[in-house]
Structure 1
């Protein structure tokens, strides 16, 4: 029987069972020699040192320590890192690529539930579900509950503006084809021809803000994207516009958004904020036209399995000499989320 490569888990115990349920572990153990009873959240100590000395593949996830030069020095046989979560930006030092290791991320799999969340919020937001539900619940005896008041609501015929054709953004674009909407796209790295193939009209950021009934943000957090939705651009939004952010909180100026939403002129649905979490008692929490969820758009609960399935498939592709679907190139570190 051919020798199987040695692999090591480095993932938080709270996430392990959801990402790697028993059937996926069984499938993985057919490919590599790995101990599912041992997963590291620190590379300190003799047990970690012994595991790293033999490891050829590191299966990482939430809770994995940063893989840097010191870790690589302790892992002379390591040739690949397969990350069973989203971004590797915080967990992989550039020296990993300099040493020639292959890096893969399950960001594509994690993008699916984020896109699903986004579509759900576009539909519910366009129907004003959250503000109308609050008003319905707060109605007192003798006052109209107005639960049938839906003038001007609904997604049909609306203009949806996407900021960023990222993995999530592209999933959202594909899903939006099922709706009767006009789609605008701002992404400086996407050509007009590619935008057309994605079913969107390429526009400037300011034009997108002026024309969109709903704006959904899917850009990475970079110095140049910080506060890309600032007070000036928020003022460009038409009355009644809705801003949805599932990307990074720093892309929106929180103080400016708070002021804009406080007037009731625009609404917001935020799965991420800046800071995150917002401090207790922040005004956005109490606004009827604002919904804030605790960074839950990505894989949660039963969706975690998607990450494990992707990671196991990547290990199989790696060992079979097949190109990896989630391969991360060193130049991508500068602009991935």
Structure 2
């Protein structure tokens, strides 16, 4: 993984804990692109990977004849594992569950800001104190959740528990009506969700079907004064179409991901008063990343003991994951 974050993800205490279950490599330093990464796997049975790990291609795995498990101390493994990994029957685990809690907290905060049209209110403050009728609260506002994913479900639950007076909608082709009700939301088609939501929050995975999903036509369905929240993947939203909507002042946007990422320094989205763009910070940051390392270490312990992994990623499930 990237040496800049390795000491946070796997501090000495976690490395000591690891050594109780497995024999660590003689030189457990981090290997990174441009180093002797493939050669370092020569005697490895387990790889703990993280942000910046090179893809496990067939050429890389040729240097790792004994590799049997990959514990990814981060979220998505889509850029890490491919056919070569599955052909070898290597077990793969992701710490996405450990990374979900910060994303959920961040998203709930953004939705709270969005329902009150915080960015527009802050920008208007320069022109004077807003009249009472211009203000917006949560009661009766509709929040639409796109994607009943690991994070999407937790966001729905968090909003329902907040008892803030929201009406909750969810759109996901794989979600049953009854399951939506159990979460505390009503399942609707995506177009209807956009038409009836004051805030639309995206939690779908980036797939061929979802790339560019929020195009000009879909964005136009969100009511005037509405907001789009995206803590999922940038390419799900057509950047040019969203920029046009926000530049007109019709919509607000709260974006932790963009397309491209990062945006050019002079991009309009970075300069509009009704748009908040953050540099992909919703997931575990700073000392929080230790939770990812802890999750990976616990997965190693389970794997060595022959117990089921909590974060196992299968070849069949991978296409539907973020």
TM-score range, shorter chain: over 0.9
Shift of 1:147: 6.4
Measured in 2, the distance between the counterparts of 1:254 and 1:43 equals 33
The answer to whether residue 279 in structure 2 is matched with residue 294 in structure 1 is yes
Cα distance per residue 1:23-82 (max 9 Å; x no partner): 22221121111147411113864x852x31210100000111111212222111111000
8 Å Cα contact 1:60-1:83 kept in structure 2: yes
Measured in 2, the distance between the counterparts of 1:109 and 1:255 equals 33
Cα distance per residue 1:139-158 (max 9 Å; x no partner): 3xxx63x1685744222321
The verdict on how the C-alpha distance between 1:95 and 1:150 changes in structure 2, with shifts beyond 3 A counting, is farther
Shift of 1:183: 1.0
Counterpart secondary structure, 1:224: coil
Cα distance per residue 1:260-303 (max 9 Å; x no partner): 11121111111111111222222222211111111111111121
Q: Equivalent residue for 1:77?
A: 66
Q: Equivalent residue for 1:161?
A: 144
Q: RMSD of the alignment, in Å?
A: 1.8
1:323 maps to which of 302, 305, 308:
308
Measured in 1, the distance between the counterparts of 2:218 and 2:167 equals 20
8 Å Cα contact 1:42-1:48 kept in structure 2: no
**Aligned residue runs from structure 1 range 220-239, under 5 A:** 220-239=205-224
Measured in 2, the distance between the counterparts of 1:329 and 1:191 equals 23
Q: Equivalent residue for 1:5?
A: none
Measured in 2, the distance between the counterparts of 1:302 and 1:133 equals 31
The verdict on how the C-alpha distance between 1:147 and 1:319 changes in structure 2, with shifts beyond 3 A counting, is farther
Q: Equivalent residue for 2:266?
A: 281
The verdict on how the C-alpha distance between 1:149 and 1:306 changes in structure 2, with shifts beyond 3 A counting, is farther
Unpaired runs of 5+ residues, structure 1, are 1-10
Runs of 4+ in 1 over 6 A off after TM superposition: none
1:23 maps to which of 13, 19, 41:
13
The answer to whether residue 32 in structure 2 is matched with residue 41 in structure 1 is yes
Q: Equivalent residue for 2:237?
A: 252
Shift of 1:222: 1.3
The verdict on how the C-alpha distance between 1:324 and 1:43 changes in structure 2, with shifts beyond 3 A counting, is farther
Measured in 2, the distance between the counterparts of 1:147 and 1:325 equals 50
